[in-house]
Structure 1
């Protein structure tokens, strides 16, 4: 015989909900032992499914075997404590996306000192506005890091060349680097990247103040395949042509539609134009 919830006593209904919550928490624990990739969009979803709302720290503890961790979405507070827990508990982590995280230099230090520092391959710090030049120094501890996204990182603190140089120093295995919209960064950083990242394949400089000197620095680079120069205007196509002639590995250069110069035939095969929209 089926009963409607209105026919149940308060005590019995309470016991049923308690048992359901226990089952959901058990599922949460077991799922954490096997899941290898986790994207947190809303912790409120877990509250709806599990009858409790874990913190990011609790999620890191439960899903410590994850190799990919991405936390973006409404209602998420990814702060220094959360990053410290991720770095300490997630021992197999290879991909970490902290876009918009509310972390400071200390959070980056805790992450770099964590156990994941020996496994982390990709780190996204885009729009982490409170990190300074000093915080970037801690990235040197991430010796396995091949992909680093620093787009608009340190926007409030005004990250400079010294921070970028510190971030890429000591690791010559870097393959992908995003320095987009770091408006206080100059050719000094770009020239350093060209000379100290010999395995770099993808570079995003969109919205930066790179000039012809910075572009020409990659002439002779043996691995660079893709270069994004949208929203950059302090160079001429002759600088691009000089770089392309010396960088035989290059397959794609993205420029803004606002460039009015006629594209030389030598560049037509690799130059692409795009709208100045941030995707």
Structure 2
């Protein structure tokens, strides 16, 4: 009888629906508590993944293994080199993404990084994207930015700080297509007054509230 009594609580827990487990999980704010929750069983792991809204990955090689668990992510962060195909997978696995931070660490060389196709994949795969940070990414080009802005119509915040290949052509694309309210061009030494003219005379001049130009 004693052994039978010990098993009863576990059986009762198994009777909880995923909605009820979700209510329990919503009371856990500590990341370690959420991790412990996900280790209880497959159902608990599935509920934790479905309710996770943000993630910061430290190793790009685990991206394809991890992201399918979190289809409702709103915020994604990666500070290491990331490829075009990885960004395509991000849009496919997590189409509800609104905020993406891909700011590269200063000491990390952007080798094998994404290019124009990666920005195209982000624009098309993440229709709700509203905030994008791309500091120090070498793959930011006029074509890529143009493709991004045509598709990501909800984008309001764009950080291109220290993207050394940003030129006047990038600003022409921004001026023509965007409804940005915030644009960071800090350290973009290739831009000139001609490029700034595209911002002043383009459609974004009606929406842009903050423009950062400090070097």
Query: What is the TM-score of this pair, normalised by structure 2?
Result: 0.72
Structure 1 alignment gaps of length 5 or more = 1-31, 40-55, 65-84, 258-279
Q: Does 1:103 align with 2:95?
A: no
SS where residue 212 of structure 2 aligns? strand
Alignment of 1:98-247 (within 5 A): 98=57, 101-104=58-61, 107-114=62-69, 116-117=70-71, 119-125=72-78, 127-129=79-81, 131-141=82-92, 142-152=94-104, 155-208=110-163, 209-221=165-177, 223-246=179-202, 247=204
| Alpha-carbon distance between aligned partners in 1 of 2:45 and 2:145, rounded to the nearest angstrom | 31
Bigger RCO (CA 8 Å, 6+ sep): 2
Structure 1: which 4+ aligned runs deviate by more than 6 Å? 85-88
Per-residue CA distance 1:66-114 (angstroms, 9 max, x = gap) = xxxxxxxxxxxxxxxxxxx98884221112233xx1231xx22223322
Per-residue CA distance 1:118-138 (angstroms, 9 max, x = gap) = x2111111x223x32222221
SS where residue 180 of structure 1 aligns? coil
* Rg larger in structure: 1
Q: Does 1:62 align with 2:37?
A: yes
- CA 1:204–1:86 in 2, change beyond 3 Å: closer, same or farther? farther
CA-atom RMSD in angstroms: 2.8
Question: Paired residue for 1:17?
Answer: none
Give the structure with the larger helix fraction.
2
Alignment of 1:27-66 (within 5 A): 33=25, 35-38=27-30, 60-62=35-37
- CA 1:86–1:207 in 2, change beyond 3 Å: closer, same or farther? farther
Q: Does 1:251 align with 2:209?
A: yes
| Alpha-carbon distance between aligned partners in 1 of 2:178 and 2:118, rounded to the nearest angstrom | 25
Structure 2 alignment gaps of length 5 or more = 1-23
- CA 1:124–1:201 in 2, change beyond 3 Å: closer, same or farther? same
